[in-house]
Amino acid sequence: MSSETILILGGGGKTGRRVAERLMAKGKQVRLASRSTTPAFDWTDPSSWAAALEGVDAAYVSYQPDLAVPGAVDAIRQLSKLAVEKGLKHLVLLSGRGEDEALAAEDVLKASGASYTIIRASWFFQNFSESFMIDDIRTGELVLPVGEVREPFVDAEDIADIAVAALTRLGHVGRTYEVTGPRLMTFRQAINEIGQQTGRGMRYKAVPADAYATMLEEAKVPGDYIWLLTYLFTTVLDGRNESLTDGVFQALGRPPRDFSDYVRETAATGIWEDLK
């Protein structure tokens, strides 16, 4: 058992949960911190941060809801400074590929003097099964404001493996891993694969951004979340990420998982079945 304590910010999220599970399986002492834990951690209340960082040796940092939102860069700046003051040995930051605000957050982390590893990730496979898209997929039609832009979707399992390696092994300090899956895919192609694996006739429909926002408003989605989704779909998914990287191989010495493997394993859980 290690005497070091590793803090997980975003421990209930797609990557944070997986990072925590892996660390605990290795016998590491893990502290999950959120608004509901003791001590609590609230990104909107910096006065709550010091207690959460007390006695911690390293941290995995996943900003909620996304580094693109106003105030995120300043929050990372303040957190990084506090981490240095508290004597944390290492920070692993989950960043977003193609987001200017995420790049700014990376810069303030680097400038803080903290030991760091940055994981700059493309869109997760798990957005199709553990996020807002799942309800539409279950109905048989996914509607998004994205045309035939190709995205190098990446597996959250790969991200978690990299984070754990950076938190527990030598050789990752000062590294920025830009991670993608092994191939470029449109949302239509992704939905077709899910449909083929599940045996369901699934469809993909691209709509204008304003029409999508109206749909979300009618569904009573909070305005700030509508803004974030619209921003991500119309800015990050404008074609700027239509390229592959070898970040997973750099970090782990193996290729990234393929979308087909994820679809096969996820379909077997029945999560995409029509719930009507």
Does residue 80 fall inside a structural domain?
yes
What pLDDT is stored for residue 73 in this prediction? Answer: 98
Please report the pLDDT score of residue 89 as a whole number: 97
Q: Residue 114's domain spans which residues?
A: 5-123+155-179+242-257
Residue 235 lies inside a defined structural domain of this protein: no
In a domain, 210, yes or no: no
- Is the model's pTM score more than 0.85? yes
Residue 190 lies in a domain: no
Strand order through the sheet with 90-96 = 29-33, 5-9, 58-61, 90-96, 116-121, 175-179
Asked whether the beta carbons of 195 and 202 are under 8 A apart, the reply is yes
Q: Report pLDDT for 274.
A: 80
Q: What is the pLDDT of residue 263?
A: 98
Report how far Cα 231 is from the mean position of its chain's Cα atoms: 16
Q: Is residue 266 in some structural domain?
A: no
Does 271 map to a domain?
no
- Domain count of the chain? 1
In a domain, 219, yes or no: no
pLDDT value of position 1 = 37
State the CATH number of the domain containing residue 80. Answer: 3.40.50.720
pLDDT tens across 121-177, in order? 999 999 999 998 999 999 999 999 999 999 999 999 999 999 999 999 999 999 999
- What residues of the chain score a pLDDT lower than 70? 1-3, 275-276
